[in-house]
Amino acid sequence: MLEQIKILKSEVEEQVSSINDLVGLENFRLEYLVKKGKIQNLFELMKQAPAQEKPIIGKELNVLRKFAESKYDEFKAQFEDNRKTQPSIDLTLPGRLSNIGSAHPVYQVMDDMLTIFTEMGFAVAEGPDVEDGLHNFDSLNFPPDHPARDMQDTFFVNVNNSNENSENSENFVLRTHTSPVQVRVMKGMKPPIRSVMPGRVYRNEAINARSLAEFHQIEGLYIDKNVSFAELKATMMTFAKKMYGENSKFRFRPSFFPFTEPSAEMDITCFLCGGKGCRVCKYSGWLEIAGCGMVHPNVLRSGGINPEEFSGYAFGFGIERVTLLKTGIDDIRLLYENDTRLLNQF
Ligand code: DAH
């Protein structure tokens, strides 16, 4: 029997040295420490041993059981300790990338434009999207019968305000341009004024590759004593070169807006054909990027500014147009389909 105990002891010692996790430890317990386990089996066998050998066998078996139990307790404490200190995640795995959102390309371009203008000394101002007819048209020197006021071009807003009679409520529109903010800025401060005014604008227009019913503009206004057209041109050129690069080519051409006199439009060489003429530029080689001009004296008056004392220039950029030219996208509708394959590129 003593020989059997010796064999089991070396077996237990060997098993102990190979325990390296909780599963191994549990197998060890089932093999040696439970009621039907190998150590208890020998206690059973001891009953058949001669009486004078029993004390010594009992002693040896007890030593073996104590040894196995203490090893079991030792490992258990160690593994449970590890469990507490070791995080349950595998830190060696590569991390999972989360999807990070970013500004829409049109807003990225808007931010770039605002940065350039603020670096040039312009402040940023904003006005309401729902505008009254007075600011959107009248104070900008639109004559009462101007076609832009027409139902075809303008979204009229029914403002159901109990203080408003129905005649008045017809006077509210979704602003068709950011120019009304010029008048609000003039009313709110004294010259010198240097402001850019970004925002959303709305037109009751058919949607196609070139135009949307809802888009964005940045308006600019500069008012001081003796402001000249040369300053307007210099500002526009400085902006455009910063936006499109030193080598891009621009031209100014005479135009008409009720709120400026004289008025001009600024064109950039067509990005698609490089000036040779194509479908996008209607075979002219040029694409319009902004309207501009010297602020009409009537507009200064609407803003509470004396045109005898002050003069100024104004300009208006379509931000989607600037975005298309910058990115080479040739259909404005793509900007608002929210296809992540396109948006992820910016
Ligand atoms: N408001 C004009 C439009 O929506 C753009 C514009 C043209 C703005 C000339 C101006 C300007 O300030 O001077 O088409």
Convert the pLDDT of each residue in 6-45 to its tens digit: 999 999 999 988 998 888 999 999 999 999 999 999 889 8
What is the number of domains present in the chain?
2
Q: Is residue 286 part of a domain?
A: yes
Decide if 218 is inside a domain. yes
Residue 25 and residue 117 share a domain? no
Same domain, 119 and 24: no
Counting from 1 in the atom list of ligand 1, the atom nearest the Cα of 259 is 13
- Average pLDDT value for residue range 136-142: 94
**pLDDT digit string (tens) for 151-161?**
668 999 887 65
Q: Let me know whether 43 and 119 are in one domain.
A: no
Do the domain assignments include residue 99?
no
Could you tell me if 41 and 117 lie in one domain? no
Domain extent, residue 249, equals 105-131+175-343
Q: What is the CATH number of the domain that holds 324?
A: 3.30.930.10
Is the same domain home to 292 and 185?
Answer: yes
Assess whether 295 and 257 both reside in one domain: yes
Q: Provide the mean pLDDT of the chain.
A: 90
Residue 173 main-chain phi, psi, to 5 deg: -135, 160
The residues near 198 (Cβ < 8 Å, ≥ 6 apart) are 110, 113, 114, 124, 126, 178, 216, 217, 218, 219, 319
Are residues 205 and 338 located together in one domain of the fold?
yes
pLDDT at 152: 66
Phi-psi region of 280 (alpha: psi -120 to 50; beta: other; left: phi over 0): alpha
For residue 271, the SS3 value is: coil
- What's the order of all strands across the beta sheet hosting 172-174? 130-132, 172-174, 156-157
Is position 300 within any domain? Answer: yes
Specify if 307 maps to a domain: yes
Report which of 78, 121, 309 is spatially closest to residue 220, judged by C-alpha positions: 121
Q: Is 232 in the pocket of ligand 1 (CB under 6 A)?
A: no
The arithmetic mean of pLDDT across residues 208-233, rounded, is 95
Please report the pLDDT score of residue 231 as a whole number. 97
Q: Whose CA is nearest to atom 7 of ligand 1?
A: 291
Could you tell me the pLDDT band of residue 89, with boundaries at 50, 70 and 90?
A: confident
Question: Which residue, judged by its Cα, is nearest atom 4 of ligand 1?
Answer: 177
Which is the closest atom of ligand 1 to the Cα of 178? 1
- How much is the average pLDDT of 328-339? 90
CB of 57 sitting under 6 A from ligand 1: no
Decide if 193 is inside a domain: yes
Same domain, 117 and 48: no
Q: How do residues 173-191 score in pLDDT, each as one tens digit?
A: 999 999 999 999 999 999 9
